[in-house]
Amino acid sequence: MNRLQHYAVPLEAEEQERLALQLGALDAALAEQPGDAEKLFERGAVYYEVGDLAAAIADFTAVLNITPEATEAYLYRGICYAEQEKFNLAIADYNQALLLDPTFVKAYNNRGVAYMQAGQLQQAVADFDTYISLSPGEGQPYYGRALCNAELGHFEQAAGDFTRAIELGMTDADSFNNRGSCYLLANKLAEALADYNQAVALDPQYADAYYNRARTYGAQGDYERALADFTRATGLDPENAQAMAGEGMALALLGRYDEAEPILARAQQIDPGVQEQIAPFLAAISKEGGGGDGGSE
């Protein structure tokens, strides 16, 4: 599964020079009026944009000291804390924003994301449920709830939420790849294959989608096509040990032991964690004497 985005501070990406000029102008304005909450908020947003999270937090905190009811400052300070992986602090800020405005859907979204990142999946689902009840025409909360349900093993529900997110405009390659993974885990192979096809059509450089499509072909017993996609995935991501292991296992299943053995060994070198997965194939290759004529029996 792939990332779920926070609502970001509403600034367009700018050149570092432009941002530096913006900071300079805000510094000058705040030197004249150090208690200007609006300028402090703007500077905090720019600090966030350039990645200076500590400075952004300091400015958003200053805003809240001046204007304790500033829900947006709680929201954006929470985003900064989440970026620092201080999820409890982020959740506390989103809580405060929601106390001030119980209909603030961005805070439900971001708190849901923070709960999810902290492993509190049921709480995250509850926040996405509330977001959906307040704003059913947006795809983001369906996408977030789908990720949670997938992590909880509720693959049919997750696929349904990804479908709704796609219907509401979230039609990027990640959405189709993620829904395909839910279908694959629910053993709906034809549906999974259709989604992976769409994902690679949208993004022909999407290594994970090729890897997942290869797994689907493998589950269907189509090892030639599985091999082709595992090979594409490793070509795009040469350090992907799982894809490399898949390539080696597909070769072994096709009886091409001489080719399989060094690929499996390389996968194990990259990630020793694949050892259990590939051990039966290495044993079969060893039994065959490390190869032979390279053809199927």
- Domain boundary residue, one of 148, 177, 204: 204
Is the domain of 226 the same as that of 296?
yes
Kindly report, residue by residue over 48-57, the tens digit of the pLDDT.
998 999 999 9
Q: Tell me, yes or no, whether 95 and 172 share the same domain.
A: no
Residue 53's identity, in one-letter code, is L
Q: Are residues 256 and 229 in the same domain?
A: yes
- How much of the chain, in percent, has pLDDT values that exceed 90? 87
* CB burial readout 189-218, b (16+ within 10 A) else e: eebbbbbbebbbebbeebbbbbbbbbbbbb
What is the rounded average pLDDT of the residues 24-32?
Answer: 92
Least confident range of 16-30, 60-74, 102-116, 141-155: 16-30
Q: 103 and 24, same structural domain?
A: yes
Tokens 């994902």 belong to 199
Query: Using one digit for the tens of pLDDT, what is the confidence trace for 181-240?
Result: 999 999 999 999 999 999 999 999 999 999 999 999 999 999 999 999 999 999 999 999
Residue 39 sits in which domain range? Answer: 1-111
The residue from 72, 96, 111 where one domain ends is 111
Same domain, 7 and 99: yes
Please tell me the predicted confidence (pLDDT) of residue 289.
66
Say yes or no to pLDDT of 296 above 50: no
Domain presence at residue 281: yes
Average pLDDT for the chain? 92
**Are residues 140 and 237 located together in one domain of the fold?**
no
Q: What is residue 297's predicted lDDT score, i.e. its pLDDT?
A: 39
Q: Is the pTM of this model over 0.95?
A: no
- Of the three residues 177, 204, 231, the one that is the final residue of a domain is 204
CATH number at 239 reads 1.25.40.10
Angle between helices 189-202 and 173-185 (to 10 degrees): 160
Amino acid of residue 140: Q
Encode pLDDT of 254-283 as tens digits. Answer: 999 999 999 999 999 999 999 999 999 999
Confidence of residue 36 (pLDDT cuts 50, 70, 90): very high
- Number of structural domains, the chain? 3
165's tokens: 């997110």
Residue 213 sits in the same domain as residue 198: no
**In a shared domain, residues 212 and 199:** no
